[in-house]
């Protein structure tokens, strides 16, 4: 059974609408569905956004969730001061749907302007050595061209991509006309004149997508650049370009969940979904079976490939579910017994080619200057390496790496929360990473309905990314379902 919204009309639709404008803008589509029953799998942002749109339209909707909490890949660490984020970290005023949800469900927003300068200051460590930034322009490890020698490694590559980005709109990445750009980011950067030394230093040490520039599509990185540019252009003059939610970002999905008429059922680990002529069934590991007119499934592809689907997914969509992976990323949230950064006279934040590519001092305390906790980010191959270890060994390796570079930190750090998103069976990674060829191969097929089963989730978003992408996809899938009944 095919969708009444083709990929292109889906794209036009999600560009045009944002939450809150939905009911007013599409009265013809939003008919009250008194009899329809919909099961939504997943209480992350996309599932909750879908459920709330359906509920507003009069549909009987129930959300079921495998974990014991809402939020999915949004997870605020409530055991540390200021609730640092282990998942979705920050957003901007251009996240129209997310900001609207916060306002609708009375979640306060926190402007990050007073603390931005602290997050922006990083110490550079290469080959185990500290390189003061004033020595960086003339340092022998600096591979950048003359006009960029002052640029620190973590700022360089996004600038190159933004400057040469041929995409004019945030949805152009799924336009078949751009399929020729679905090559490796590495090949594209080389074609822009970037050397191997530059790509290694400025991307492969701290890969935001994939484990290096070789296994991520240039087209995806162009969409990232387009989305960032669009967000900047939507920033409200005089207001902070970065926001978080009071109580941690998890407060937003929690408040959305609180607005549902039917309580979410937790601990329902979905193992199979069956679509028949007149109904759909969802089977959970604990033996619970749900029957509904329609099912909305919000789980990411690496999780979905473990759920048995009847009828089987076919063609490009089957390939998407089997091969679209999510970013491997680990975090350690730490408390410092003493401010070791004061002892060694450096900012707590680091960029390093060691195990911990990014150490962040969180500024979520009483005053902007206060370091309330520290977060170690580990990405790519290093994260995959940690995932091979027992958790205690992984934590010890993280601490040892920081102490190696910062002797003043010796014995001062305690890991309060360690998170491997890849080892979490309900996520199996972070955001979707489109490898070279995958966008042209199946980006327009990944969200096709399969009988009575419809799909949403950040990986199905077209015009937005991350948390706003999840919200966009929830809205789109709710309209797909409403449009069918
Ligand atoms: C470290 C990190 C940093 C991030 N930073 C940002 C950022 O700064 N800005 C930004 O915009 N985005 C960021 N993101 C991305 C953003 O958090 C996600 O894109 C978004 O939250 C995804 O929402 P979703 O609804 O698509 O998926 P999810 O949140 O993953 O929701 C899916 C839900 O389905 C449930 N589920 C899975 N399998 C099953 C099953 N078998 N049975 C029942 N339930 C199941 C899950 O438990 C989950 O609750 C970040 C993510 C991470 C991890």
Q: Give 9-46 as a DSSP string.
A: HHHHHHHH--TTTHHHH-TTT----TT-EEEEE--SHH
State the burial class of residue 370 (Cβ atoms within 10 Å of its Cβ: 0-12, 13-18, 19+): middle
Question: Look-up: residue for tokens 């969802």?
Answer: 282
Strands 358-362 and 373-379: antiparallel
Question: Look-up: residue for tokens 């569905």?
Answer: 33
CB count within 10 Å of CB 239 equals: 12
Q: Ligand 1 within 6 A of 269 CB?
A: yes
Ligand 1 atom with the shortest distance to the CA of 67: 47
**Ligand 1 atom 13: residue of nearest CA:** 88
Cα 478 → chain centroid: 21
Under DSSP, the state recorded for 201 is I
Q: What is the per-residue pLDDT for 28?
A: 36
Q: What is the per-residue pLDDT for 466?
A: 98
Report CA(432)–ligand 1 centroid distance (Å).
Answer: 10
CB count within 10 Å of CB 283 equals: 18
Report CA(253)–ligand 1 centroid distance (Å).
Answer: 11
Cα 222 → chain centroid: 16
Tens digit of each residue's pLDDT, the chain (485 residues): 333 333 334 444 444 344 444 433 443 333 334 456 999 999 999 999 999 999 999 999 999 999 999 999 999 999 999 999 999 999 999 999 999 999 999 999 999 999 999 998 999 999 999 999 999 999 999 999 999 999 999 999 999 999 999 999 999 999 999 999 999 999 999 999 999 999 999 999 999 999 999 999 999 999 999 999 999 998 878 777 899 999 999 999 999 999 999 999 999 999 999 999 999 999 999 999 999 999 999 999 999 999 999 999 999 999 999 999 999 999 999 999 999 999 999 999 999 999 999 999 999 999 999 999 999 999 999 999 999 999 999 999 999 999 999 999 999 999 999 999 999 999 999 999 999 999 999 999 999 999 999 999 999 999 999 999 999 999 999 999 999 97
CB 246 within 8 A of CB 108: yes
Q: What is the per-residue pLDDT for 238?
A: 77
Is 383 in a helix, a strand, or coil? helix
State the burial class of residue 13 (Cβ atoms within 10 Å of its Cβ: 0-12, 13-18, 19+): buried
Query: What global pTM score does this model have?
Result: 0.93
Q: What is the per-residue pLDDT for 467?
A: 98
List the structure tokens of 7. 């990929």
Q: What is the per-residue pLDDT for 234?
A: 87
Q: Ligand 1 within 6 A of 371 CB?
A: no
Measured CA to CA, the distance from residue 292 to residue 275 in angstroms comes to 10
Measured CA to CA, the distance from residue 453 to residue 450 in angstroms comes to 5
Q: Ligand 1 within 6 A of 328 CB?
A: no
CB 73 within 8 A of CB 44: yes
Q: How many residues does the chain have?
A: 485
Measured CA to CA, the distance from residue 86 to residue 99 in angstroms comes to 20
Q: What is the per-residue pLDDT for 35?
A: 57
Question: Look-up: residue for tokens 């028949």?
Answer: 276
Measured CA to CA, the distance from residue 229 to residue 389 in angstroms comes to 39
CB 351 within 8 A of CB 357: yes
Helices (H) then strands (E): counts for the chain: 17, 19
The CA-based diameter of the chain, rounded to the nearest angstrom, is 71
Q: Which helix (H) or strand (E) element contains residue 31?
A: none
Report CA(336)–ligand 1 centroid distance (Å).
Answer: 28
List the structure tokens of 181. 């750009």
Measured CA to CA, the distance from residue 372 to residue 334 in angstroms comes to 9
Say which residues have a Cβ less than 8 Å from residue 148's Cβ, sequence separation at least 6: 156, 159
Q: What is the per-residue pLDDT for 15?
A: 43
Q: What is the per-residue pLDDT for 17?
A: 43
Q: Ligand 1 within 6 A of 41 CB?
A: yes
Q: What is the per-residue pLDDT for 7?
A: 37
CATH code of the domain made up of 7-72+248-324+443-484: 3.50.50.60
**Smallest Cα–Cα separation from 341: which of 408, 390, 391, 293?**
408
Q: Ligand 1 within 6 A of 471 CB?
A: no
Going from the C-alpha of 69 to that of each of 55, 250, 274, 295, 372, the distances in angstroms are 21, 10, 25, 20, 25
Ligand 1 atom with the shortest distance to the CA of 90: 8
Q: What is the per-residue pLDDT for 338?
A: 97
Ligand 1 atom with the shortest distance to the CA of 329: 1
């Amino acid at each position: 059974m095919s969708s009444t919204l083709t990929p292109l009309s889906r794209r036009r639709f999600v560009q045009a609408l944002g939450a809150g404008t939905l009911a007013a803008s599409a009265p013809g589509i939003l008919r009250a569905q008194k009899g329809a029953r919909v099961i939504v799998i997943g209480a992350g942002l996309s599932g909750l956004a879908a459920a709330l749109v359906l509920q507003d339209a009069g549909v009987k909707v129930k959300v079921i969730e495998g974990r014991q909490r809402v939020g999915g890949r949004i997870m605020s660490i409530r055991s540390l001061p200021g609730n640092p984020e282990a998942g979705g970290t920050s957003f901007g005023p251009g996240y129209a749907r997310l900001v609207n949800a916060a306002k609708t469900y009375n979640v306060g927003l926190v402007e990050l302007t007073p603390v931005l300068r602290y997050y922006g200051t990083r110490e550079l460590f290469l080959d185990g050595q500290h390189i003061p930034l004033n020595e960086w322009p003339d340092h022998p490890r600096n591979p950048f061209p003359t006009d960029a020698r002052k640029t620190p490694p973590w700022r360089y590559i996004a600038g190159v991509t933004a400057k040469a980005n041929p995409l004019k709109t945030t949805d152009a990445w799924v336009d078949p006309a751009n399929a020729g750009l679905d090559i490796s980011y590495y090949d594209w950067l080389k074609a822009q004149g970037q050397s191997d030394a530059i790509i290694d230093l400025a991307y492969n040490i701290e890969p935001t997508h994939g484990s290096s520039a070789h296994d991520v599509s240039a087209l995806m990185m162009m969409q990232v650049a387009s989305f960032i540019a669009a967000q900047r252009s939507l920033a409200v003059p005089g207001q902070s370009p970065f926001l978080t939610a009071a109580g941690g970002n998890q407060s937003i999905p929690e408040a959305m969940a609180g607005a549902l008429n039917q309580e979410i059922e937790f601990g329902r680990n979905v193992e199979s979904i069956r679509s028949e002529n007149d109904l759909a069934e969802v089977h959970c590991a604990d033996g619970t079976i749900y029957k509904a007119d329609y099912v909305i499934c919000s789980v990411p592809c690496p999780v979905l490939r473990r759920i048995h689907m009847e009828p089987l997914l076919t063609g490009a969509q089957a390939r998407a579910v089997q091969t679209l992976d999510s970013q491997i990323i680990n975090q350690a949230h730490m408390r410092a017994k003493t401010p070791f950064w004061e002892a060694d006279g450096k900012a707590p934040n680091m960029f390093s080619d060691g195990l911990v590519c990014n150490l962040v001092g969180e500024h979520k305390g009483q005053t902007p200057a206060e370091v309330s906790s520290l977060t170690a980010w580990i990405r790519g191959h290093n994260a995959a390496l940690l995932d091979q270890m027992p958790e205690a060994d992984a934590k010890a390796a993280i601490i040892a790496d920081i102490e190696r570079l910062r002797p003043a930190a010796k014995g001062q750090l305690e890991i309060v929360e360690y998170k491997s998103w890849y080892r979490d069976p309900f996520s199996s990674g972070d955001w979707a990473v489109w490898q070279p060829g995958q966008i042209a191969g199946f980006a327009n097929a990944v969200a096709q309905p399969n009988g009575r089963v419809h799909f949403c989730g950040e990986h199905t978003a077209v015009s937005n990314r991350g948390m706003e992408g999840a919200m966009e996809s929830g809205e789109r899938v709710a309209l797909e379902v409403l449009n069918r009944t």
